[in-house]
Structure 1
Amino acid sequence: MSDFILVAGAWLGAWDEVAVELRGAGHDVHALTLSGLAERRDTRPDGQQTHVRDIAEEVERLDLRDVVLVGHSYAGIPVGQAAARIGDRLRRVVFVDANVPVDGESFLSGWPSEHVRRTIDAQGGYWPPLGPEEYAGHGLTDEQIARIVEATPHPGITLTEPAVLDRPLSELPATYVKCLLDGHEPMPAVAALLGSDSWELVTLDTGHWPMFSQPSALARVLHEAAARP
């Protein structure tokens, strides 16, 4: 069995439902909350590299081997960088409907982000969760939508600092999980990586937050990804 580290995306903390499913399948699971979020909201990060260190240092602190790093949405950026740094401790990296790091580019690079940047400036350096109407059509219940809307504003500096890659992501064993209710086509940076022999694409017929809308299905995908050679 593998050691999973589950890292949530913007605004959110641990994925308890998925962790329970994976533990039931015999895996060791570590649900990591990044600095500045949820129960760690008082630990303000210096930038995106703080989140990369959060992940890499957790692997070292727990002396984990055979590690499956899992990042959702924004968390794909620090998870991808950490995966490139932990060497032979890594078994696989899984990106769940996630952004992937591009050397020298930030989370906000490559998409219309001026509104987000203005919001961060107006909110004292934080990006608050979107309004409830933004989560329609993603297979979420009203309670699940409220859980996201009421989550922690995200430290803006982690969204604007550029990524630093120690090795090409195409060299890493990786699974990309595309959630089809959030669009059928992976973003261009992901599509390019999927041309690598070490990357695979898996789809889920749900929205952008499968850890809430389909935790059992997501756990099965993660379990199967860990079994890949």
Structure 2
Amino acid sequence: MTLLAIRDLHHDASHEAMPHTHPQGQLFAVRAGLVSAVADGRRWVMPPGCLGWIPPGVTHGAVFHARTEGLNLYVDEAWSRRYWPDRLRVIRRTPLLTALLDTLRRFDSVPECYALVLADALGREPDQPLNLPMPADPRLAGLAAELLRRPDDDTGLDDWARRLGMTRRTLTRRFAAETGWSVGQWRQQARLLLAMERLAAGAAVTVVALDMGYQSVSAFIAMFKKYLGRPPGAWFDPA
């Protein structure tokens, strides 16, 4: 039985994988570029230096926003369900995880002990705040789609409530019930993920900041550091 199958990951910018499932678990290890995925009712991004885990049987599609390089690991279904996380996760690739992945590539058949160490190391890392819960209600889904299409739009809640044919209170209550976040928190997170996609594709920080509705580049960089711990250049500069 093959516990882990390791494949090089190479995709050109704008490559899209339509929604699909597979019996194995899948681990993305992104070295350059950026992968975004829609799965489990959420939108996820996997930037350089991160690992993205998709459990067996989870329907997912993916878009590659720049030329993307890295590794794909396919994990045996029974092993995935026994030892690996049961939900989609994005985590930082630590020096330990990097060393483990480099070591695993040397084997034609990965030893069980190494596979167990990798699963344990992954399980100990905290989630990165790189996902966005999508509302299921058709009206709220329309609001979410518009905020993703126009991230610089600062339309207020009262105006959105009128457009959607509900009171402000109903809008805020339903949105929070479906996503766990307020509309303002959701919009902030949407801007963060969209910014990462555009930066990965090569857009300048100044351009992205303005496109996301920020009045200054410094405010945009401060937001990035607040939520991700590092400025944009630390994620995407070639150096």
Bucket of the pairwise TM-score, normalised by the shorter protein? under 0.3
Instruction: Point out the structure with the larger strand share.
Output: 2
TM-score when normalising by structure 1: 0.27
Which one has a bigger Cα radius of gyration? 2
Greater relative contact order (CA < 8 Å, ≥ 6 in sequence): 1
TM-score (norm 2): 0.26
